[in-house]
A and B are shown apart, each in its own frame.
Chain A
Amino acid sequence: MGDHHHGPAKGLSRWLFTTNHKDIGTMYLWFSFAMFILGGTFAMIIRAELFQPGMQLVEPGFFNQMTTLHGLVMVFGAIMPSFVGLANWLIPMMIGAPDMALPRMNNWSFWILPPGFLMLASTLFMEGGAPAFGWTFYAPLSTTYAAPSVTFFIFSIHVLGVSSIMGSINIIATIMNMRAPGMTYMKMPLFVWTWFITAFLLVAVMPVLAGAVTMMLMDIHFGTSFFSAAGGGDPVLFQHIFWFFGHPEVYIIILPAFGVVSQVIPAFSRKPLFGYASMVYATAAIAILSFVVWAHHMYTVGMPVAGELFFMYATMLIAVPTGVKVFNWVSTMWRGALSFETPMLFSIGFLVLFTIGGFTGLMLSIAPADFQYHDTYFVVAHFHYVMVAGAVFSMTSAVYFWLPKWTGRMYNETMGKVHFWISFVGFNVTFFPQHFVGLAGMPRRVPDYALQFADFNMMSSIGAFVYGASQILFLYNVIATIVAGERVSDEQVWDGAEGLEWTLPTPPPYHTFEVPPQIEASPAHG
């Protein structure tokens, strides 16, 4: 390693063989955006079919493939890799490390993702069609009654799981071993903390998901009966294993989003984050509780009353640390010198809408009430408030916040604000009415519905088209910034931004912090 100060290699091999955390972060971000567009296209097909009652555009079987792939692509292809990309770009720069701890593994964990998704997407063109059993792939729908393409689905989940586990191991190894001298754990920026905890969740539960799909594979091809009652197995076992993975998974998605918002809100409030330590403990508490609440997704399977009560109270308990976080973000803004640039708008949008999603989650946690809400559009509305307005809004906020730092060019602020308002209105027009149709009894995953739901569904569809179109504006703004944005030379970029990444030149050189920075004795989190 004699040539320390080389720049990036030229051409395609730069991207193929790169071990640079910034390059890999960039690839993750672009890949996840491509998946966001793909999953969004599936969503547009769903909303177009639901624009009116009756069957208009697609066959019911294809509709089911769309709901399944939309969920899988958005969760595993768009949201999760986008936050891994953010982690790659930011964690080394935030803790004063020259790169990730295991750069070659970093390259692998990215490059196995595209083939994994290619395999998943290819099922669309197979005999019998793509998986059509919902993103939760409950057995026996996904075993006895699945299309032959389910085997490709299983391997694709294996690949994505391996990628996630390698990515998380890398993040933990980086944070534990590569912090600059003086960067103690309780001085780390909150984004680093939330990812640190998220990575542990991933290492713990992605193997559980791998186990679940492996059991499916064995049931389908090797004559075992894990989930087949005929051979002494139990389909309900599948649900327990799936949600033992699935509930921590939703915090895997939302915790890094919490981290982003905890960086953005202090910057535009020009105040340090309120209650830093309590934010760290709240994040850890949420992560630990996430392991003991999984069965609240399956209240209706016929659990004993004691079980229902346990999972109900444990779930409600999560509202406490989550409430601490919301309180801290609001308190950070309290009496701050607020300004409302696009990243701040998206973060405030996150704060308001995520809180709504949190409250509907609290409603769903009530076991007796859930018997009514279960598998209705109310659930769909709830998890889109936390996944889209939570994770995606926060991710969008992050892109606007750090893009000027990454590229050295400023995005178009007016276009950014327009993007926010169209997104905000479009999102609410899409998903708010779904609460009502859900409460009135419209089931999820149906291509057709009763006439009384027609008006709200048409509203939902119009909102979805608006929200979808606003992402094109986002894409345009990002590309225009990279190609021809106004140059930024200020290291700080945002006058209120705090943290090591803002002490680097703008844009940061290919290799940063080859000499560890000096950390001041005073608390430097923000």
Chain B
Amino acid sequence: MRKWLSLLLATLLTATIAVACASSNDTTAGGGGGSGTSTLDTVLSRGSLICGVNGQLPGFSFVDSKGEYSGLDADYCRAIAAALFDDPSKVEYRNLSAQERFTALAAGEIDVLIRNTTWTINRDTALGLEFEPTTFYDGQGMLVTKASGVKDVKGLSGKSICVQSGTTTEQNLTDRFRKLNIPFTPVVFDDEDALYAAFTQGRCQAATSDRSQLTARRKSLPSPDNYVVLDEVISKEPLGPAVRNNDSKWADAVKWIIYGTFQAEESDITQANLSQSESSTDPEVKRLLGKEGTLGTDMGLPNDFVARVIKHVGNYGEIYDRNIGKPFQLERGLNKLWTEGGLIYSPPFR
């Protein structure tokens, strides 16, 4: 009997202690958003950035074998930390589910949401988000076999296409094919894995999804070289960071850090040639790297914030190649610089 009493006593004690520990030690970093203080000040005084990421998406954010977050989204978290603290490791990553992401941002649990989030009018206005420049122009694409010789969407006339049910993907597919007046047979799956299994077994001539997902999937198929992702894109999915509404100071800071990576690529400033560029006499480069003018300090950032980003993370092209280009052999397409026919365009730094 004493045994049971002491067991009960023990568990009750644990209960109180654990509750006490839990409540006293958990200092979740609070976000700003409140009266007057910008998230920028909160982040600077805290000394680290809390970045909401997916954490499970190839190419965008995942944990590599060394335990480090890696991917395009993670690199932009790092870029912000580099600009603010000259130290890309000053980031606390927060894995977020698709449902949780906007709540976490609204409740101030994260400072910035960089979780492959599509910029839509509804999210920008009704949901109270402030979208930052798009860092990856995704779009729905088609995965076909090389042997089929299909080169564009029109080539899929009369073919069957594997698609996931209940997604915007399915809607987009039907809309686009009806608009083009092309007959096709949709083969609908609930489960993503089943979809690609059916595709490799030849039950449909094409699989459709976002191009970033298709390229990642293509790499995991038994013989990736037999498959190709068509260049044609049938929907718009601009993915980029988002912050809370009504905090221009912070929104501007994030915005210009991202534009800095775009402009650096345009000005041919890379991680490798940064030291040469810093001694450049080109006034535009000097302004960008903070050698001249007060572009950074004017908005509460260090004057050399772009130089810091380039030093630690690289320019947009480098970030893209490291995370998407090299691992998945995905052509840049829309994500080329505007000078090369893409959409990556930074307003001038002056």
Q: Are both chains from one complex?
A: no
Binding site for A on B (CB under 8 A): none
